[in-house]
Amino acid sequence: MKTMLSLEPRALVLVQLSLKCLLLEELLGTCAGTHTLHYNLMALSLEGTRKFEFRAQGYIDNEPFLRYEGYRRRAELWGPRIKGKGGAEIWTRETEDMQEKEEQLRRMLTEVMTQKGQHGGIHTLQATFGCETQGSNTGGFWRLGYDGQDFLTFDQKSQMWKVSVPSTHSTKTFWERHGPSVDQVKTFLNDTCPDRLQRYSIYLGNQLMVTGPPMVTVSRRPYPVGRITLTCWAFNLYTPVATLTWLQDGRPVQQHSFGPGTILPSGNGTFQTWVSIWVLPGQEPHFTCRLRHRNKNIDVPAALGPQARNSGGATSSASALVASAFPAMLVFLACA
């Protein structure tokens, strides 16, 4: 008689995540890093009426993939790099979940405004919840905020809702009665969310438009007097999460470096950024530009000249990338 191995739901999810690791590495960049699935929900009271608006977005590794508008009453696949309409089974389930949470947040917003004696004006109730995985470890979070200030957080250690503002105890009681139960929250954070993260990541890998790998290019010019300005551009970033750093003999250097300090939209659903540094003439061979994106490094030596390098190590002329720099440069100049 054979003995069957039985796994708890959460353990089964972790085993499945491990088995899918190699595939996720191709879709998300790596399986060793941290991956997240989170939702941002907002109920909004309208000035001079008793009506409310509701909207929600979903993100995988900070890449948008879902939106829900209260007036449409349905969830749909959405994002700057998303193509197609998505599977009906996924969006039916997401639509039902969002419709339920919409009613909960509308009711909660009305209660909070009543408790505060605010019978008009524009007010918001926000909910942020989701999970993250790193290897075989998972963690979850669920927070509520009113007018931009957190006031309720689910504590996974005590398995209880905790208030951030002492005066919100009565609001906490109302949420515990009319919001999701503690068991529902625990099940979502520990089981449902990690399972969705795994399945959505694989599914969305077939829905993302192929934009090619990230590209990095370096250039030099004699400015200011007695110095050389080295500039490093990173293009075709899939998400606005990346770091661009100059290395001197392999070590990060911040002195005399400058740039926008943020990731800029390119206007085609991808992102870009740049960083410059002043060096002495002849020091160029000691400097390398490093892009850190999706847990991968792309290094381009300053001595390489006006060449672009992608994550596969291939190089090409940087002139083809010049046009894509203009939208981000215009944004930077407009904000300066």
Q: Which of 153, 172, 204 is the last residue of a domain?
A: 204
Q: What is the pLDDT of residues 311-334, one digit of tens each?
A: 555 554 444 443 444 344 333 333
Q: Is residue 189 part of a domain?
A: yes
Nearest Cα neighbor of 287 from 226, 214, 229, 222 is 229
Q: Is residue 178 part of a domain?
A: yes
Say yes or no to pLDDT of 306 above 80.
no
Which of 73-77, 113-117, 215-219, 326-330 shows the lowest mean pLDDT across its residues?
326-330
Q: What is the pLDDT of residues 169-187, one digit of tens each?
A: 888 999 999 999 999 999 9
Say yes or no to pLDDT of 55 above 60.
yes
Higher-confidence position of 8 and 61: 61
Inter-residue contact 274 to 293 (CB < 8 Å): no
User: Average pLDDT, stretch 57-61?
Assistant: 88
Q: Is residue 4 part of a domain?
A: no
Cβ atoms < 10 Å from Cβ of 139: 16
**Residues 137 and 181 grouped into a single domain:** yes
pLDDT at 139: 92
**Residues 29 and 137 grouped into a single domain:** yes
pLDDT at 233: 92
What is the average pLDDT score of the chain?
79
Q: What is the pLDDT of residues 238-257, one digit of tens each?
A: 777 889 999 999 999 988 88
Inter-residue contact 183 to 267 (CB < 8 Å): no
- CATH value at residue 252: 2.60.40.10
pTM above 0.85, yes or no: no
Number of domains in the chain: 2
User: Average pLDDT, stretch 232-238?
Assistant: 87
User: Average pLDDT, stretch 15-25?
Assistant: 44
Contacts of 305 (CB under 8 A, 6+ apart): 218, 219, 220
Q: What is the pLDDT of residues 63-73, one digit of tens each?
A: 788 899 988 89
- Token pair, residue 147, equals 């007018």
- DSSP 3-state of 174: helix
- Cis peptide leading into residue 260 (ω within 30°): no
pLDDT at 307: 56
Cα–Cα distance, 148 to 140 (Å, whole number): 21
User: Average pLDDT, stretch 53-69?
Assistant: 88
- Token pair, residue 163, equals 């208030």
**Residues 52 and 150 grouped into a single domain:** yes
Which of 45-54, 224-233, 320-329 shows the lowest mean pLDDT across its residues?
320-329
- Token pair, residue 181, equals 């139960």
